[in-house]
Chain A
Amino acid sequence: MLLSHRARQLVRYLPVLPAVLLLLVFLAGPVLWAFQASLTNAGLTGRSARNPEWVGLENYQRLLTDPVFPLSLGLTVLFVGGSAVLGQNLLGLAIAVLMRRARPAVASLVGTAVVAAWVLPEIVAAFAAYAYFSKDGTLNQLLGALGFGRPEWLYAFPMVAVMLANVWRGTAFSMLVYKAALNDVPTEVTEAAQMDGARGWQRLLFITLPMIRGSIATNLMLITLQTLAVFTLVWVMTAGGPANASTTLPILAYQEAFKFGDIGYGTAVASVLILIGAAFGVVYIRLLKEPRA
């Protein structure tokens, strides 16, 4: 071999190049471009589109004074916390636990129903959720039949509607994660606890959940990241309205950039969102690197 060790190493890794190029051009590139553009007054059209001017931290200062930004940040936290961390996570766990106690036929039937909402294209799921929560929609039909009022969910309680819709859409993921995790728990352990007289909920709380804590952490990170990026569901159901009452950060970034034509400010909002995602990503990777107990 004439080639040095280092050169041989390089040649061997040549096939990685196309993937690296794609990731650099279409993923790292836009992220860096975002941070740079957020420091300019770049516009969608007109003079500021061709020759954006450097404005320093002006867009970020505007974030601090714009009343919509803190509102949007709060709504995003509410959306992620309520519909993912609490809603999808707990419901997914509950379904997975119930599936082990139910008849197999029932479990697989219900599993299919839950997964169906998740496999559908997002725009179709969004339309279905829109119809479901609209004034004459299925939810109000049910409430009416039970003798309750028929509120205009999408106008009176837009966040409740989009959060419930996101629970409906995304719970399948948590359910599948927990189903697999529970299958990994050796039955001897829970059986031993049963012998010692532990009740069902005690076994779940003190034995099963600590044993699957790795899966719980991974699941929480992944659904947080997924929910942070939800756009279509909210966009179709409420478009962020009424009057910004459901404007989560992805909607805000889109509106500022494309509706109001302020790419600079829109990318500033997007940069904040990217940084939040990156922070969660770092935590997630640390969790994965940590050897499991």
Chain B
Amino acid sequence: MTAPARTLPPRGVQALAPQRRRGTTPADLALLLVGACFLLPLLWLVLGSLDPQAGHETKVPRQPGLENFAAVLTPELLLRPLWNSVVLSAGTGAVTLVAASTAAYPLSRYRSRFNTPFLYAVLFGTCLPITAIMVPVYGLFVQLELLDSMPATIFFMATTTLPMAIWMTRNFMDGVPVSLEEAAWVDGASRMTALRTIVLPLMRQGLGVVFIFVFIQAWGNFFVPFVLLLSEARQPAAVSIYSFFGQHGAVAYGQLAAFSILYSLPVLALYIIVARWSGSSFALSGAVRG
């Protein structure tokens, strides 16, 4: 019916599938080898953050300590950029959520020739490479004098995640039975009142998934704020960590690793929440794009 839902496994398939005899040793060993390869690059991050003398090498620190974390935990270096990341990501999530849920309502509730072409046009929007659009967006922002503006950057980032958010929100809304709203209409509530008081509360977990999904994307986004936000006071952690690396990277690998870990923790936590909520990590992957 919809793009993300198509590849989604029917609920409970995993549980209902007859348990085959599982666990062959060659498969285990092959998988563990693959897993080790995937973990190796991250090992440096963890060990390096605990090693005040860290370089490029992966090694167990001779004198492990939290000096690196202490060194980056300053308002200037970490806290202000992290706060900017929070504002940027939460703002993007909020704008996306409002625009997506109002747009999803007619698309979910009315039958019209307009729906299918619109949804496919929106889906087509998700296919455009955002990195290619950044040069023209910069040009546009210069002409409209929006460069270095936090709200403008938020609106742009919300737009880039909006297509997927509209699809996801509509799917969640399709799951709320119309009969519940009909009762409200009888009581004289308008369509938008019904949406606000009945439909949205019933799909709050779905909305939570959309919000977190947008938040994670915005939090990890480097290129967009790198191009659109120029002054240091407004830059989010993704950009400030890059300039930090450019200035001190050659000497302070340990601090870089510590910074990276502190900056990554919030999205790792959010990912775990959303994976739990949606039963599998798949709801997110169906919607993520580069």
> Which residues of A approach B to under 8 Å, CB–CB?
9, 12-13, 15-16, 18-20, 22-23, 25-27, 29-31, 33-34, 37, 42, 49, 91, 94-95, 98-99, 101-104, 106-107, 109-110, 113-117, 119-124, 127-129, 131-132, 134-138, 141-142, 168, 170-173, 176-177, 179-181, 183-184, 187, 214-215, 218, 222, 225-232, 236, 249-250, 253-254, 257-258, 263, 266-267, 269-271, 273-274, 276-278, 280-282, 284-285, 288-289, 292
Contacts and interface: CB of A to CB of B under 8 A. Distances in A.
Interface string B1-19: 0010011111001100110
Contacts of A229: 129-132, 290
Given A18-B99, A27-B128, A31-B128, A102 B267 contact: no
A181 B9 CA distance: 7
Main DSSP-derived SS at the B contact region: helix
Interface stretch (B31-39, B65-73, B179-187, B203-211): B31-39
Interface string B93-106: 00100111011011
A177 B7 contact: yes
B58 A141 contact: yes
B281 A176 contact: yes
Given A27-B133, A218-B6, A282-B124, A102 B268 contact: no
Given A110-B35, A218-B7, A26 B58 contact: no
A285 B120 contact: yes
Interface of B: 3, 6-10, 13-14, 17-18, 20, 22-24, 27-28, 30-32, 34-45, 48, 55-58, 95, 98-100, 102-103, 105-107, 110, 112, 114, 118, 120, 122-140, 142, 155-156, 158-160, 162-163, 166, 191-192, 216, 219-223, 227, 238, 241-242, 245, 253, 256, 260, 263-264, 267-268, 271, 280-282, 285, 288-290
Given A131-B48, A254-B134, A288-B6, A18 B24 contact: no
Contacts of B24: 101-102
Contacts of A98: 27, 30-31, 34
Given A13-B114, A19-B100, A226 B7 contact: no
Contact of B282 (A180, A249, A263): A180
B133 to A, nearest CB: 5
A33 B118 CA distance: 22
A124 B264 contact: yes
A110 B10 CA distance: 24
A236 B99 contact: no
B115 to A, nearest CB: 9
A288 to B, nearest CB: 6
Nearest to A128: B41
A33 to B, nearest CB: 5
B139 A267 contact: yes
A99 B31 CA distance: 7
Contacts of A99: 31
